[in-house]
């Protein structure tokens, strides 16, 4: 029995050794020879094409030391970080002169490890062969910008690992295979062909890029089509339909196999579900309003307060929190002067409901103005400084206000005060921080001036209510520029612009971390306040909520960080400072990938996606395509990779990883990349 077990153990060791050798072995000569024949077919039978590209069956492109060869520059390999000692997984033959032949799937699929075929912008003819399904591990099929014809083969749907299909700008025709919608695709680009029939029922919510424009397609568009806009579907045949991009499709059901019937069946339970939500919401709202009215009545009776009519409306009046201004008279409750002012927490809910109760007006001394001198900071305009000089709380209440947005920590409004200056008011929700601590924090932040940090002009602090006033920045946020609506005068952000934004934000955050920690001292022209002694013991102040929507653009399109310290925890919390570094790393990932963070806003999902791509040694797939469209000698791409490494150091929280850098260290690394980029630009000029 012992001999049998020993024999089995020896066999297992040999088997594992063979498996290991198979994973880390060299690409076989048969595979290399097959790929050279594949390239010859792409070149229309020109057997000199392989020689021109350095493809040589006697040289293994994946073996250590051969990666820098011409053969190694047009293929990518599995293996170590240096890309060797593995199998060929990627073939890059984009815009290669002389590729006017056909795609031979049998020769390509002889390389079982191949994951990506990219032959865009050549002159390939013929079609996409049915045999492409034999490349079972294929994840990217990129054949755009050729002269391919025929149908899109249905066998593509057998490639369960396929994530990217780019067949744009060819002469392909026929219907799109319906089962394409069952693949877990990230990108599907089929524009500028001659496809007809209907669009498969793609789950557009999970796709990052999608376009079928400039074809002969007809019928209903998929759900969530508004995510990509009209330009991804039009022009097509006249029968294209579906709201909100086109006219509604006919309401009658088709033969049962089309989409109209399916959409109609799907719409019925959704309508019932939404109706239930509406009724439930109305019941909850009615109960909340009842409790509010009851508590206000009891409190008024207890304090002996009386109500009187007033025409003052402003930030808290729900009729003023839209772009439309009315003059309806509303009733507010004026508290006894001896009573402490406190805006009810239900005021936030009142904002969301039309006709809800308005808030109580506090005395004019409640607003702490940080810029009474009227002098502008490096980022504040003279108009805003002048408005802040004489700013009173009544001005905010009586001025028309427009709701800008709601977030996890409160709402923001645009308020135009007397004199025409536009201000932004941040209303902090459920701020449980001590009033004295919040006051000291805002005063310290107001004294620390940096061109990349938007300073507060004033603030209001009560038991359950915190307001912070800034100058309104009309050019919007980085979030809208990257992921939202872009003005017609603004094109996509290029590499230089994104690097500039990254460096400016890093400088501002590093300055605030250092200055507010007391190590360099606050730069202030104001005389110390009575709370400075206490403030000196408070320690550094973190931003607490750094994200793309809080990076705004000044009139000169320079980035600045808004809402600094508004939601920061009290005291010198090292974890909060590390949280700022992590948030900045997520911001870098958004700049580099062009992808938005999830609704949670912590960037964990984006960081996981980037990590998974890097582990597969697909670093180039991480970057936003707008960054890679400029061409060049590759030096910019190298700096992108370096900035990506900085981002990953900021977000890496895995066990055993090195401690994250400080914001000062991060700013130093980013500025070193920017200085190198500036020198490279000067040399090119």
For the chain, the farthest-separated pair of C-alpha atoms sits apart, in whole angstroms, at 100
Mean pLDDT, residues 16-45: 72
Q: What does the alpha-carbon distance between residue 132 and residue 150 come to, in Å, rounded to a whole number?
A: 14
Answer yes or no: is pLDDT of 499 > 90. yes
pLDDT band at 644 (very low <50, low <70, confident <90, very high): very high
Greatest mean pLDDT range, 439-453, 523-537, 629-643? 439-453
Q: What value does the mean pLDDT take over residues 258-266?
A: 46
E strands present in 176-259: 187-189, 194-197, 209-211, 216-217, 219-220, 240-241
333: which strand partners? 307
Angle at alpha carbon of residue 449, lines to 440 and 406, rounded to 5°: 70
Q: Buried b vs exposed e over 572-591: b needs ≥16 C-beta within 10 Å? A: bbeebbbbbbbbbbbbbbbb
Cβ(452)–Cβ(508) below 8 Å: yes
Q: SS in 3 state form for 367-391? A: EEECCCCCCCCCCCCHHHHHHHHCC
Q: Which of 120-124, 198-202, 209-213, 289-293 has the lowest mean pLDDT?
A: 289-293
Which of residues 484 and 345 earns the better pLDDT score? 484
pLDDT digits (tens, 9 = 90+) for 238-258: 788 998 888 898 864 444 444
Contacts of 261 (CB under 8 A, 6+ apart): 253, 254
Assign domain 21-240 to its CATH superfamily: Ribonuclease Inhibitor (3.80.10.10)
Q: Is pLDDT above 60 for 337?
A: no
pLDDT of residue 645: 93
pLDDT digits (tens, 9 = 90+) for 83-103: 445 788 889 898 888 899 999
Average pLDDT (527-537) is: 41
Does 533 score more than 60 pLDDT? no
Residue with tokens 């990076």: 551
Query: What mean pLDDT do residues 622-644 have?
Result: 79
- pLDDT in the model for residue 649: 93
pLDDT tens across 390-423, in order?
788 777 778 888 888 887 788 899 998 888 889 9
Give the model's pLDDT for residue 28: 84
Listed range (3-7, 413-417, 455-459, 658-662) with the worst mean pLDDT:
3-7
pLDDT-derived band of residue 6, with 50, 70 and 90 as boundaries?
very low
Identify which has the larger pLDDT, 48 or 314: 48
**Of the ranges 66-75, 242-251, 388-397, 445-454, which one carries the lowest mean pLDDT score?**
66-75
Between 551 and 20, name the one with better pLDDT: 551
What is the reported pLDDT for 373?
47
Tell me: pLDDT of 592 over 80.
yes
Domain positions in the chain:
21-240, 309-333+340-472, 476-685
pLDDT at 322 over 90: no
CA distance 666 to 669: 5
200-219 average pLDDT score: 91
* Cβ count near 595 (within 10 Å): 18
pTM of the model: 0.52
Classify domain 309-333+340-472 at the CATH class level: alpha beta
CB 428 within 8 A of CB 466: yes
Model confidence at 143, in pLDDT bands (50, 70, 90)? very high
Residue 373 CA to residue 391 CA, distance in Å, equals 12
Coil, strand or helix: which one is 347?
helix
Of 179, 144, 111, nearest in space to 132 by CA: 111
- Average pLDDT value for the chain: 75
Residue-level pLDDT at 359 = 34
Q: Region 431-455: what's the mean pLDDT?
A: 84
| Span 538-564, average pLDDT | 90
Residue 430 above 70 pLDDT? no
38-47, 258-267, 372-381: range with lowest mean pLDDT: 258-267
Q: Higher model confidence: residue 239 or residue 68?
A: 239
Distances (CA, A) of 649 to 511, 573, 642: 20, 20, 11
**Section 422-448 average pLDDT:** 82
Q: Out of 232-236, 258-262, 556-560, 659-663, pick the least confident.
A: 258-262
Given a cut of 50, whether residue 209 has pLDDT beyond it is: yes
pLDDT at 605 over 80: yes
Quick: pLDDT tens for 116-139.
999 999 999 999 999 999 999 999
pLDDT at res. 547: 93
Query: Is the CATH code 3.40.50.970 the one for domain 476-685?
Result: no
The most confident of 83-92, 199-208, 316-325, 362-371, by mean pLDDT: 199-208
What is the enclosing helix (H) or strand (E) of 553?
strand 551-553
Over range 547-568, report the average pLDDT: 91
pLDDT at 463: 67
pLDDT at residue 295 greater than cutoff 70 = no
Q: pLDDT tier at 57 (50, 70, 90 boundaries)?
A: confident
pLDDT for the residue 381:
75
Alpha-carbon 337 to chain mean position: 48
């Amino acid at each position: 029995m012992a001999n049998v077990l020993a024999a089995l153990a020896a066999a297992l060791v040999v088997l594992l050794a063979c498996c290991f050798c198979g994973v880390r072995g060299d690409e076989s000569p048969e595979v290399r020879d097959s790929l050279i024949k594949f390239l010859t077919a792409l070149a229309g039978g020109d057997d000199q094409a392989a020689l021109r590209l350095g493809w040589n069956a006697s040289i293994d492109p994946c073996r250590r030391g051969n990666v820098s060869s011409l053969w190694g520059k047009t293929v990518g390999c599995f293996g170590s970080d240096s890309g060797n000692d593995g199998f060929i997984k990627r073939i890059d033959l984009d815009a290669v002169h002389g590729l006017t032949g056909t795609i031979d799937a049998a020769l390509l699929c002889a390389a079982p490890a191949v994951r990506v075929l990219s032959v865009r912008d050549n002159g390939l003819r013929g079609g996409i062969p049915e045999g492409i399904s034999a490349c079972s591990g294929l994840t990217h099929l990129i054949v755009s910008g050729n002269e391919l014809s025929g149908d899109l083969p249905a066998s593509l749907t057998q490639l369960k690992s396929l994530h990217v299909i780019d067949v744009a700008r060819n002469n392909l025709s026929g219907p799109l295979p319906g089962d394409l919608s069952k693949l877990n695709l990230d990108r599907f680009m089929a524009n500028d062909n001659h496809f007809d029939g209907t669009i498969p029922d793609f789950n557009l919510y999970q796709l990052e890029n999608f376009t079928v424009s400039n074809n002969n397609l007809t019928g209903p568009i998929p759900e969530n089509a508004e995510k990509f806009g009209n330009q991804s579907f039009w022009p097509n045949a006249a029968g294209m339909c579906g709201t909100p991009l086109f006219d509604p499709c006919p309401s009658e059901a088709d033969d049962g196999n089309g989409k109209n019937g399916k959409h109609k069946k799907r719409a019925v339970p959704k309508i019932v579900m939404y109706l239930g939500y509406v009724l439930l919401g109305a019941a909850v709202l009615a109960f909340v309003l009842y409790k509010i009215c009851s508590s206000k009545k009891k409190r008024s009776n207890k304090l002996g307060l009386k109500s009187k009519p007033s025409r003052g409306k402003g930030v808290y009046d729900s009729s003023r929190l839209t772009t439309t201004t009315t003059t309806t008279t509303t009733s507010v409750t004026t508290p006894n002067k001896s009573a402490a002012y406190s805006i009810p927490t239900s005021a936030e809910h009142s904002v969301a409901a039309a006709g809800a109760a308005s808030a109580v007006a506090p005395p004019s001394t409640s607003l702490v103005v940080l810029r009474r001198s009227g002098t502008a900071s490096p980022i504040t305009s003279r108009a805003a400084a002048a408005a802040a000089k004489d700013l009173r709380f009544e001005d905010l209440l009586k001025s028309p206000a427009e709701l800008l947005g709601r977030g996890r920590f409160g709402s923001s409004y645009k308020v135009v005060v007397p004199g025409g200056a536009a201000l932004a008011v941040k209303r902090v929700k459920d701020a449980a921080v001590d009033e004295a601590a919040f006051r000291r924090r805002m005063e310290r932040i107001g004294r620390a001036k940096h061109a990349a940090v938007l300073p507060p002009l004033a603030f209001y602090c009560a038991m359950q209510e915190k307001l912070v006033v800034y100058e309104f920045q009309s050019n919007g946020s980085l979030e809208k520029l990257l992921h939202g609506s872009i003005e017609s005068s603004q094109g996509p952000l290029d590499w230089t612009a994104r690097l500039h934004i990254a460096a400016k934000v890093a400088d501002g955050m590093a300055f605030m971390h250092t200055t507010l920690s007391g190590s360099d001292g606050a730069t202030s022209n104001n005389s110390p306040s009575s709370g400075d002694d206490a403030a000196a013991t408070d320690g550094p102040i973190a931003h607490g909520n750094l994200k793309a929507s809080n990076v705004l653009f000044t009139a000169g399109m320079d980035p600045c960080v808004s809402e600094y310290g508004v939601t920061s925890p009290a005291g010198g919390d090292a974890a909060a400072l590390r949280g700022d570094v992590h948030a900045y790393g997520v911001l870098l990932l958004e700049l580099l990938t062009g992808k938005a963070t999830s609704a949670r806003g912590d960037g964990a999902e984006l960081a996981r996606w980037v990590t998974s791509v890097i582990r597969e040694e697909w670093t180039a797939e991480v970057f936003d395509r707008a960054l890679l469209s400029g061409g060049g000698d590759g030096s910019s791409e190298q700096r992108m990779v370096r900035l990506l490494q900085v981002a990953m150091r900021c977000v890496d929280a895995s066990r055993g990883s090195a401690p994250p850098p400080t914001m000062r260290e991060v700013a130093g690394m980013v500025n070193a990349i920017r200085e190198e980029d500036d020198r490279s630009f000067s040399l090119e000029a």
